[in-house]
Amino acid sequence: MPDYAYLVQMDIPDDWEAEFNRVYDTEHAKYICNAAGVRSCTRYRLETTDAAHVARYAALYEMDAPDVPQSAGWQVESEKGDWATKIRPHATNRTHTVLQRIASATGGPPATDGYAFLVQTDIPDDVEDEFNHLYDTVHLPGLRQVDGVQNAYRYRVETTNAAGFPRYLAVYEIDSPAIIDSKQWLAAVQDEWTEKVRHHCVGLTRTIMQRVARHPN
């Protein structure tokens, strides 16, 4: 699996939304995936969130290194087609976050449809080691075993221009939003991680996004 990911989030006016999606999926994401070091692009549209604000669209690029978005190849590909001149000027609330993948619990290849459940949080320094240990060895693999959870990944923020973006992000690929309300999920959540460290989490937010496209390289 690639070691890094680049999360781009943005809003788009309603009257530009159809063209935004067309250009992103027929041109922009495919061009970017031609850049050296880019493995794939998965696009999402916001379904629900308990955060104060989450941009309506997100693109998650899997990459080999954290500096790929600054590479000459990325810059060349990102200027191709209608994106740079026709669509990008209308995108608002754009944020860019580089993430390092620190753990995964997979059941197969990355999902191509369905939903993603995103959990973001900060954690005090004095419990960070235990937080990570129990998340990686207990919480993440336990929730991956729930029916309808395809894969689960954890990331730590490297850099971001998003104000207040929490340091840790977990992404669960799920078949439907109903999974996180199922009896099996609710039982799996009650584990050692929840008992020992969840109450230390700061700014914990939960977001469900619908997967709208995936572009592998």
What CA–CA distance (Å, rounded) separates 151 from 107?
6
For the entire predicted model, the pTM comes to: 0.95
Instruction: Kindly state the percentage of the chain with pLDDT values over 90.
Output: 94
Domains in the chain, start-ordered, CATH in brackets? 4-216 (3.30.70.100)
Dihedral sign (CA 66, 67, 70, 74): negative
Confidence bin at 31 (pLDDT 50/70/90)? very high
Long-range pairs for 182-191: beta carbons < 8 A, 24 or more residues apart: 182/146, 182/147, 182/148, 184/146, 184/147, 185/143, 185/146, 185/149, 188/142, 188/143, 188/145, 188/146, 189/143, 191/134, 191/138, 191/139, 191/142
- For the stretch 99-154, pLDDT in tens is 999 999 998 888 778 999 999 999 999 999 999 999 999 999 999 999 999 999 99
Confidence class of residue 217 from pLDDT cuts 50, 70 and 90?
low
